[in-house]
Chain A
Amino acid sequence: MFPNSFEYMAPTTLAEAVELMQRHEYDAKVLSGGQSLLPMMKLRMAAPPILIDINSIDELRGWKEESGFLRIGALTRHSELENAVELRDRYPLLAETAVWIADPLVRNRGTIGGSLAHADPASDWGAAMLALHARVEGIGSGGERQIPMDDFFVDTFTTALEETEIATAVLVPKPAGRTAGRYLKIERKAGDFAIAGLAIHVVLASDGTVAEAGFGICACGPVPLRGKRAEEYLLGKKLTPETIDDVSRMVPEDADPEDDLRGSAAYKRDVLRVFAERGLSDIAKELQGEGVVG
Chain B
Amino acid sequence: MHVGLEHYLAVSALLFALGLFGVLVRRNLLVIYMSLELMLNAANLALVSFSSYKNNPDGQVLVFFIISVAAAEVAVGLALIVALYRKRKTTHVEDLTTMKL
The reply to whether chain A is a binding partner of chain B is: no
- Residues in A lying within 8 Å of B, measured CB to CB: none
